[in-house]
Amino acid sequence: MPKPTAAANAAPMSKSSHRMMLLAYAEWLHNERAMLCHLMGWDDRLVAFTEARRFHYPRGGGSWQDVPPPSTRAIAVMDAAGVDLAAVRAWAQRAARTGNPQDGFVVEATNA
């Protein structure tokens, strides 16, 4: 696994900024899954019941509450995938300050 970047190791954030980072992670996961399903030709509602589910639903009566929550790995996962964490942090802090997740949202123009 790649070493965390400086952005991943940045100073702690306020609780509201951290919540915005988790919102960004949820959005990223949604898009990542949708793209993977599309590329593989799978229905995006796919539930395959692979052994990977055992991470969240352990055998032997364990619960999803017995494993570390997604919030504990959100930043590390986005960092490992190459997400621009400095930009996401800046957005999270702006959104937390204004209370509007769309604050500062910019649609980049393309020369299509």
10 in a structural domain: no
What is the rounded CA–CA span in Å between residue 33 and residue 31?
A: 5
60 in a structural domain: yes
Model pTM above 0.95: no
71 in a structural domain: yes
6 in a structural domain: no
What is the rounded CA–CA span in Å between residue 91 and residue 21?
A: 9
39 in a structural domain: yes
Q: Structural domain of residue 87, as residue ranges?
A: 15-98
- When divided into structural domains, the chain yields a total of 1
Spell out the per-residue pLDDT of the chain, length 112, in tens. 556 666 566 667 888 899 999 999 999 999 999 999 999 998 888 788 888 888 888 888 788 888 889 999 999 999 999 999 999 999 999 888 888 777 655 545 444 4
